């Protein structure tokens, strides 16, 4: 079968767009993702088989959109990490006591060692694997603790922000 990108796009473009729009919930992002799917096909045109292009395109669209969603979550989580960064870099000695109380109240609900893990990851910039080597915990256990901490931070975000301002 001869490669014809225009024919593929004409026939399968609407299907790919619908899949991207369903997953991303945003028309502009879906349009961009659709273009990216067909660019990936074009880049690999000599090394892929197009016996069943709808299945291949559907799979590429799904994986691409899931990667976009994952990357967007990382950006969102990084915004939540700003609270930790603000606390870590806070330099007003008069309010350090208040911040210390806030930190203690945040970690009061956490398991022992979570504070250390959070500092290693958010302040020291260590990866899950590095923390695992340091603490002897599994990577999934570290990920779970940090996820729970972030959830608690989201619940207490307004209180912490109020104290920082």
Q: In the CATH scheme, what is the code of domain 90-164?
A: 1.10.10
Token reading at 50: 């197009």
Cα distances from 114 to residues 40, 66, 77, 107, 111, in angstroms, run 41, 29, 17, 7, 6
Predicted local confidence at residue 50, as pLDDT: 77
Predicted local confidence at residue 125, as pLDDT: 76
Predicted local confidence at residue 127, as pLDDT: 86
Predicted local confidence at residue 99, as pLDDT: 57
Predicted local confidence at residue 15, as pLDDT: 92
Give the residue extent of every domain in the chain. Answer: 5-73, 90-164
Q: What is the pTM of this model?
A: 0.46
Q: In the CATH scheme, what is the code of domain 5-73?
A: 1.10.1740
Q: What is the DSSP string of 109-153?
A: TSPTTHHHHHIIIIIS---HHHHHHHH---HHHHHHHHHHHHHHH
Residues in the chain, pLDDT under 50: 160-161, 163-165
């Amino acid at each position: 079968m001869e490669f014809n990108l225009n024919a593929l796009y004409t026939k399968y473009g609407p299907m790919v767009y619908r899949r991207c729009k369903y997953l991303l919930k945003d028309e502009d992002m879906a349009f961009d993702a659709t273009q990216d799917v067909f660019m990936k096909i074009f880049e690999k045109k000599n090394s892929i088989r197009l016996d069943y292009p709808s299945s291949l395109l559907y799979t590429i669209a799904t994986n691409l959109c899931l990667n976009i969603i994952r990357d967007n979550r990382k950006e969102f989580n990084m915004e939540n990490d700003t609270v930790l960064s603000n606390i870590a870099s806070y330099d007003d000695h008069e309010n350090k006591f208040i911040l210390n109380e806030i930190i203690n109240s945040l970690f009061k609900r956490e398991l022992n060692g979570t504070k250390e893990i959070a500092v290693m990851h958010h302040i020291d910039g260590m990866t899950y694997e590095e923390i695992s080597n340091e603490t002897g915990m599994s990577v999934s256990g570290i990920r779970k603790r940090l996820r729970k901490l972030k959830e608690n931070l989201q619940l207490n975000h307004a209180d912490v922000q109020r104290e920082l301002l």
